[in-house]
Structure 1
Amino acid sequence: MRDWQEKLEIYFLSMSIVNYDEIGVPKKSTQWYYFMVTFSQIVGIIALIIIGVLFGQYRGGFGWGSDLTKVFNNHPLLMTLGMVFFYGDAILVYRVFPNTKKLFVKILHGTLLALSLILSSIGLKGVFDSHNRAVPPLGNLETLHSWIGIITVTLFGLQWVCGFTTYLFPKLSESIRQAYMPTHRFWGKTIFIFALVSFMTGIVEYCVFEKLYDDSTLKSQRNMFSIAGILFLIFAAIIIYLIGENDFQRPPDNDDEHRPLTE
């Protein structure tokens, strides 16, 4: 009987060695984690395609000419692409590439955020132009969606500037970086949630203003908006879940983290 117990202990010990990677994370869990990462990207891309098809095929298309409908349509697509999809990916990159040199991950993180800021700025231009060029001009920042949206973009811009200055260039002292990190993480997640809320309120506002709920012939478009909203809600939930998994934090910083960017 003792021999069988010893054999079982050896067997489970060997299984534990096989099933754990070099940094102590179970391989099965690692596979699950990257499955969820892949799933989040599929869900997000499908939602973006739906938004693109809705505004490109059914709601007038995109453009910057005299057709103000096309000018406005740049707003929902670019804001969604920048403030939800790319921003979600930007806050996830540290967990997706835990063994890549942190400097490169920082650059990727900052680049995705910069792209988010550029796309969002162009998206804001679309909605302001469509309002200001209308005859008569339409009012700006008069709805809950617009208030949440402008607050979100403003906070996002401040967060990007503070993060770039603190962690990338010129890069502040290690003590300041460590002290600021909890604040940086908190606002990163908070702004992402704000962006999702802005997207959801934007869907409802657009459907109400365009009377999509009053016309039975537009039911398919209403459903497409609802499906896109659910998909982005799933996307955001997965992102929040993945960045909250402490088992997938980066290993302790190496020497590269403490070198100035200019070296």
Structure 2
Amino acid sequence: MGKGNFDENGSIRLSLRWYYSIVVCSQIIGVIAVILIGVFLGKYRGGFGWGSDLEKVFNYHPLFMTLGMVFFYGDAILVYRVFRDVQKIYIKILHASLLLISLILTSIGLKAVFDSHNRASPPQENLNSLHSWIGLTTVVLFGLQWICGFVAFLFPKLSENIRKAYMPSHKFWGKFIFIFDVSAVLMGITEYGIFNELFDDKKLRHQRNMINIFGFFVVTFAVIIIYLVDNDDFQRPPDNESEHAPLIE
């Protein structure tokens, strides 16, 4: 149903039921992806820790990047569609909070990879792959996006004309960053598999299959999130946009 057909109550209820079923599926898929990478690193690749074992330090990197840049970021994009009847000021706060959690988790993930390189003997070079370049660029863009969104839509909250002019750019960069997030995660897990010879050693076939399945679930989660956000049939009912302009719809 289109956004102009909100009077068709029966069809709207059916449409929303379908929509929320897809949302639930996205959450299940996202949680499975997080569990897969957690089990892979925790059971098969040495576990986690901030001590002298640098492999355990590094393992926080893929885990927290998946949690922050994929799962929480994707959920933050969805909140305006999921909580359709909640006043937008509260959704803005929830949206900004989820993105802040995402940014914090991402920062921990970055610290883990830099620590594992810098504390090695001899120290390893940082930012020497396409994965690292795209990943760091995405994090910087994410931080700038969060600051701009907070200033424009929450505090001090710019004028309505400026917010309306900025909104299309904010939406575009929000989805662009999410797509780059997912791309960086996929490149990173592939790079990890190559460096650790998971694709060459037949004895490690189950580990290779696990990271491949993980990548599949990440892509599936991302596709569903983009579909739910871009589908005009599931927009919020018309309301006072000047009073409740969203960060990302």
Shared fold (TM-score, shorter chain, > 0.5) = yes
Alignment match of 1:19 (pick from 10, 22, 31): 10
1:141 is aligned to 127
Which amino acid in the other structure matches residue 122 of structure 1? I
Conserved? CA contact 1:174–1:258, under 8 Å:
no
1:182 is aligned to 168
1:151 is aligned to 137
Report how far residue 63 of structure 1 moved.
1.0
Conserved? CA contact 1:103–1:256, under 8 Å:
no
Q: 1:103-252 to 2 correspondence within 5 Å?
A: 103-252=89-238
- Tell me, yes or no, if structure 1 residue 90 matches structure 2 residue 76: yes
Counterpart secondary structure, 1:19 = helix
Conserved? CA contact 2:78–2:229, under 8 Å:
yes
Note closer, same or farther for the CA distance 1:18–1:104 as it changes in structure 2 (3 Å cut): closer
**1 CA distance for matches of 2:53 and 2:236?**
49
Conserved? CA contact 1:88–1:239, under 8 Å:
yes
Cα RMSD for the two superposed structures: 1.6
Which amino acid in the other structure matches residue 86 of structure 2? T
Note closer, same or farther for the CA distance 1:255–1:214 as it changes in structure 2 (3 Å cut): closer
Report how far residue 17 of structure 1 moved.
5.4
**1 CA distance for matches of 2:114 and 2:102?**
18
1:6 is aligned to none
Counterpart secondary structure, 1:254 = coil
**2 CA distance for matches of 1:256 and 1:135?**
57
**2 CA distance for matches of 1:216 and 1:29?**
47
Conserved? CA contact 1:40–1:235, under 8 Å:
yes
Which amino acid in the other structure matches residue 203 of structure 1? I
Q: TM-score, normalised by structure 1?
A: 0.88
Give the total of aligned pairs: 239
Which amino acid in the other structure matches residue 214 of structure 1? D
Which amino acid in the other structure matches residue 170 of structure 1? P
Report how far residue 61 of structure 1 moved.
0.6
Q: TM-score, normalised by structure 2?
A: 0.93
Q: Which runs of 5+ in 1 are unaligned?
A: 1-15, 21-25
Conserved? CA contact 2:87–2:244, under 8 Å:
no
**2 CA distance for matches of 1:187 and 1:258?**
20
Identity of aligned residues (%): 64
2:4 is aligned to none
- Tell me, yes or no, if structure 1 residue 65 matches structure 2 residue 51: yes
- Tell me, yes or no, if structure 1 residue 100 matches structure 2 residue 83: no
1:8 is aligned to none
Report how far residue 18 of structure 1 moved.
5.6
**2 CA distance for matches of 1:50 and 1:255?**
40
Question: CA offsets per residue over residues 225-255 of structure 1, 9 Å max, x none?
Answer: 0001001101000000000111222233438
**2 CA distance for matches of 1:97 and 1:258?**
13
**2 CA distance for matches of 1:255 and 1:231?**
35
Which amino acid in the other structure matches residue 181 of structure 2? A
Which amino acid in the other structure matches residue 210 of structure 2? M
Q: Which runs of 5+ in 2 are unaligned?
A: 1-6
Comparing both chains, which one has the higher relative contact order based on Cα–Cα distances under 8 Å and sequence gaps of 6 or more? 2
Higher Cα radius of gyration: 1
Counterpart secondary structure, 1:39 = helix
Question: CA offsets per residue over residues 30-78 of structure 1, 9 Å max, x none?
Answer: 1110000000000010010000000011101111111101100000000
